[in-house]
Structure 1
Amino acid sequence: MTIRLFHVSDLHFGRADGEALNWFERLVHAEKPTAVVCTGDLTMRARSAEYKAARVWLERLGVPVTIEPGNHDIPYHNPLMRLLSPYRRYRAVERALERPIDLPGVMLVPLKTTARFQWRTNWAYGRVSKDGLREALAQLKTRTPGTVAIVACHHPLIDGAHVHGEAKTDGGKAALDALAAAGADAVLSGHVHDPFDVAHPVGGRTVRLIGAGTLSERLRTSRPSFNELIVKDGVLEVKPRIFELA
């Protein structure tokens, strides 16, 4: 059986590119992927109206959707809410959208890389908590032989020449080592707004580091884009899909 996933990230409702969103929606309706995986930054400032717009659009896709939080999905202008209930609006959308997804031969493992607070000035950087990593590793332990295990998070776990920007993910390298040892085959992320696909050697294995671009106005070095992931017979193929104006 062939599994096709559309990996999208950094929608940034509030600063979304309407034409790019329409293009992606048309492709989903026409090609009907098995599921859509969104690796964070649904919103620009985690405002209620932005979350509402994101939810309406994601529901309109008409296929199973799984989402991860990004640093922009935590309240920015409300420090009290950020510290006491940073994921309340995000969780409401997650509960409304996510349903069990049957992906024969594929395991999707969530890994949260956002934090309400950090002991450094730039809280946009990533952070892998001990609890979050423990939960991901526990899921990977249930992986059956021949299953392609894909971890989904917002921030790239390591920085390098393949990333046009910095994630500076605290605990990211150690997390990647542990995930690789537990059998992860690929790590999906967003955050840097440019796509990449790198075969990274770690712990005697090779783990694919796959980043999606953005469908927002906040472009870096590339056009709006997403990744098409195809898994067949235990092999993962990645096809970047680039939006071009008519």
Structure 2
Amino acid sequence: MRMIQLSDLHFGTERPEVMDALVTVMHQLSPDLLLLSGDITQRARRAQFRACERLLARLPPAAIMAVPGNHDIPLFNLWQRLVAPYAHFTRTFGDDLLPCHDSGQVLVVGVNTTCPRRHIDGTFTEKQIETVAHRLKASHARVKIVMGHHPVDAVLESDERNIARGAERAVRTWTQAGMQLYLAGHIHYPFCARLERRYPGLSPECWTFQAGTAISFRVRDHKANSFNLIEWLPAQQALQLERWDYTPAIEGFLCAEQIQLPLRGGAGSSGSG
């Protein structure tokens, strides 16, 4: 099963040439599941969500699962922010802010890490932690992934403040319930890391995979526009993670990093290239 994670599209700040290249590579890769990990828009305006809908209509047919980011909550429309903060998001993606996709072999559980009253900062509530844990435990899928917008780990010291509140409680609860991979965005800084680095005592086979910004000019630290590809390889009992970067020289996306993660009880081996 092939999944592609697009994050921090920030419609309203999109680069048309990068968006066209994304459409091309998506048709080449033909994912089974498209994962949108928040900040789909820049200012949560209806026109920006419509722009996203037009992009999705250009992509090959695939199941779509999305969670909101803090930019998908109105900033200047205070009435809507407090009374109906997710109105435009749910009009496009449905009412479930904790969506779930279970193919039998692969389970992906979404979690809404945003908080309208705090706007930027993310949080995992106790109710969310327990709900996600229940879904992880109830599934017989071989691969169990959780996706939110806010990160549970950081590489740069300046990103420590962006780690969602309750992250340690969430990570430890969910890994005990079977989570092998946590996907997020928000910081526009792609990386892949073992969760035990920050949370000692966890299995070394539990990871986080951060996505960069896919099409926005709001890149960071000279990082390229990028997206993540996650593929379940049943023969190897492994997840293959790839980061694809936009490369101006070819006006297209190329695979820039590849890591193969053996799953608990699996027979694969880890490496990068």
So what's the TM-score if we normalise by structure 1?
0.90
Residue 205 of structure 1: SS of its match in structure 2?
A: coil
* Aligned AA (1:115): C
* Aligned AA (2:121): Y
- The Cα of 1:60 is off from its aligned counterpart by 2.4
Number of paired residues?
A: 238
Residue 243 of structure 1: SS of its match in structure 2?
A: strand
What does the per-residue CA deviation read over 1:11-35, in whole Å, with 9 as the maximum and x for residues that have no partner?
0000012222111111111221111
Write the distance in 1 (CA, Å) between the matches of 2:52 and 2:34: 14
Match of 2:155 in 1: 161
* Aligned AA (1:241): W
Match of 1:225 in 2: 226
Distance 1:101 1:143, change over 3 A: closer
Match of 1:150 in 2: 145
Distance 1:163 1:94, change over 3 A: farther
Write the distance in 1 (CA, Å) between the matches of 2:156 and 2:135: 28
Unpaired runs of 5+ residues, structure 1, are none
Candidates 233, 242, 245, aligned match of 2:245: 242
* Aligned AA (2:29): E
Unpaired runs of 5+ residues, structure 2, are 251-273
Write the distance in 2 (CA, Å) between the matches of 1:240 and 1:100: 23
Q: Is the 8 A contact 2:38 2:66 kept in 1?
A: yes
Write the distance in 1 (CA, Å) between the matches of 2:102 and 2:120: 33
Q: Is the 8 A contact 1:164 1:194 kept in 2?
A: no
- The percentage of counterpart residues that share the same residue type is 29
- The Cα of 1:143 is off from its aligned counterpart by 2.1
Distance 1:173 1:204, change over 3 A: closer
- The Cα of 1:224 is off from its aligned counterpart by 0.2
Residue 91 of structure 1: SS of its match in structure 2?
A: helix
- The Cα of 1:204 is off from its aligned counterpart by 3.5
Match of 2:7 in 1: 9
Write the distance in 2 (CA, Å) between the matches of 1:19 and 1:60: 14
- The Cα of 1:102 is off from its aligned counterpart by 5.9
* Aligned AA (1:227): N
Write the distance in 1 (CA, Å) between the matches of 2:124 and 2:189: 22
So what's the TM-score if we normalise by structure 2?
0.81
Q: Compare relative contact order (CA 8 Å, sep 6+) and give the higher one, 1 or 2.
A: 1
What does the per-residue CA deviation read over 1:104-145, in whole Å, with 9 as the maximum and x for residues that have no partner?
411001111101113xxxx3111112222222112111121x
Match of 2:260 in 1: none
- The Cα of 1:236 is off from its aligned counterpart by 0.9
Match of 2:116 in 1: 116
- RMSD between superposed Cα atoms in Å: 2.2
Write the distance in 2 (CA, Å) between the matches of 1:22 and 1:104: 33
Give 1:207-218 correspondences, 5 Å limit. 207-214=206-213, 215-218=215-218
